[in-house]
Amino acid sequence: MKNILITGGAGFIGSHVVRLFVTKYPDYNIVNLDKLTYAGNLANLKDVENRPNYTFVKADIADLDLMRSIIRDHRIDGIIHLAAESHVDRSIRDPFTFARTNVMGTLSLLQAAKEYWESLPEGFNGKLFYHISTDEVYGALQLNRPDGVEAPFSTRASSERELAFGTDFFTEATAYNPHSPYSASKASSDHFVRAYHDTYGLPTIVTNCSNNYGPYQFPEKLIPLFINNIRQRKPLPVYGRGENVRDWLFVEDHARAIDLIFHRGKVADTYNIGGFNEWKNIDLIKVIIKTVDRLLGNPDGYSLDLITYVTDRPGHDMRYAIDSRKLQSELGWEPSLQFEEGIEKTVRWYLANEQWVNNVTSGDYRRYYEEMYSNR
């Protein structure tokens, strides 16, 4: 495979995937297709933008004719599809944009790929449409262990499955049960991808990943928002009681998994990606506070007073936890970073890149943020 289309490459995870592919595969032509919404920033790719095997195309994935011509003009062999509206809170306020991009956009891309590949003498041979999805499509897990043993709320969950916050995990066989407009739109796009395989034979793969964190994440998501707010001595809005649990994975480990699955994954298959790294929000927030305070030279506990409990997110899923043993045993992938290292790296990056934060949070986002918190 030579000509690879990566959609959403100017966003958080996409920029890490583009960087990995452009540097690791000098023989591939990497085409980064992105609409550059508020979440897409070409500044995320400054270090690779002049590489000879990299091209950027500004386009909306929901524009079917444009998808047809881009895929044909660049003679695309493989697609790694990340472009999406990705923030749950925004989906609650504006579900239509999520349906348009995540559902209709994915459908347009599928149709354009199918038409182009069908027109070639080799057909679908050697082609791949790889869709990046989320664990949120599976719904929410219980917080307590079904056997009644109380979960270890005051400590971080162990990566040992049996000691975690519950005994149930999302596997590749878990039935879809999305709750938010975001997860409903991602579930719908996953179904369309599988339908294009089952109906037309399009070679597809879907992966469902847990919460990512790391450099270049837009500071509306929990970890970068809180790092930034602590730095500015702004309140830290904890939804509800801060007891919801998420399973966190360093973004470069997700990018490595995508590379592996793109090259060695089984067509028509699904892989779950996660770090066996569950944290209750409030415990994670305390780790962030501790790390930021230490790196800023503040006394331990200095920023704890910024914690502000606010009205809960409507329909807030209680717990996500991914069982990624299939990926580990079939393809030999493992997360490379301990969570403590990942958080340290992430906090250091945000503190050193204040200008990036200021640039991406100007304008539209500032208005959205002010409106969002004016009534909580």
Q: Which of 157, 209, 288, 327 binds ligand NAD (CB under 6 A)?
A: 209
Using rule CB under 6 A, residue 227 touches ligand DAU: no
The tokens of 187 are what?
A: 């579930």
* 310-349: contacts with ligand DAU (CB under 6 A): 313, 320
Using rule CB under 6 A, residue 274 touches ligand NAD: no
Residue nearest to ligand NAD (CB): 11
Residues 6+ apart with CB under 8 A from 96: none
Answer whether 186's CB lies under 8 Å from 84's CB: yes
| Binder of residue 357, out of ligand DAU, ligand NAD, none (CB less than 5 to 8 A by kind) | none
Distances in whole angstroms, Cα of residue 62 to Cα of each of 3, 70, 302, 321: 21, 13, 47, 31
Residue 136 appears among annotated catalytic residues: yes
| Binder of residue 202, out of ligand NAD, ligand DAU, none (CB less than 5 to 8 A by kind) | none
Distances in whole angstroms, Cα of residue 287 to Cα of each of 135, 213, 290, 347: 24, 14, 5, 11
Q: How far apart are alpha carbons 173 and 53 in whole angstroms?
A: 38
By CB under 6 A, the count of residues binding ligand NAD is 31
| Binder of residue 238, out of ligand NAD, ligand DAU, none (CB less than 5 to 8 A by kind) | ligand DAU
Residue 61 or 238: which CB sits closer to ligand DAU?
A: 238
Q: How far apart are alpha carbons 105 and 63 in whole angstroms?
A: 7
Using rule CB under 6 A, residue 36 touches ligand NAD: yes
Using rule CB under 6 A, residue 174 touches ligand DAU: no
Answer whether 189's CB lies under 8 Å from 250's CB: no
Residue of 34, 85, 135, 278 marked active site: 135
Residue 239 appears among annotated catalytic residues: no
Q: Which of 22, 76, 112, 222 binds ligand DAU (CB under 6 A)?
A: 222
Q: How far apart are alpha carbons 7 and 223 in whole angstroms?
A: 24
Residue 232, burial from CB neighbour count under 10 angstroms (0-12, 13-18, 19+): exposed
* 283-312: contacts with ligand DAU (CB under 6 A): none
The tokens of 290 are what?
A: 């501790």
Residues 6+ apart with CB under 8 A from 252: 16, 20, 214, 336, 337
Q: How far is the CB of 298 from ligand NAD (least distance, A)?
A: 28
- Distance from first CA to last CA of the chain, Å, rounded? 50
Residues contributing to the site for ligand DAU (CB under 6 A) = 86-88, 134-136, 210-211, 221-222, 225, 237-239, 244, 246, 281, 313, 320
Residues serving a catalytic function are: 135-136, 182
The footprint of ligand NAD (CB under 6 A) covers 7-8, 10-14, 34-37, 39-40, 60-62, 82-86, 101, 105, 132-134, 186, 209, 211-212, 218
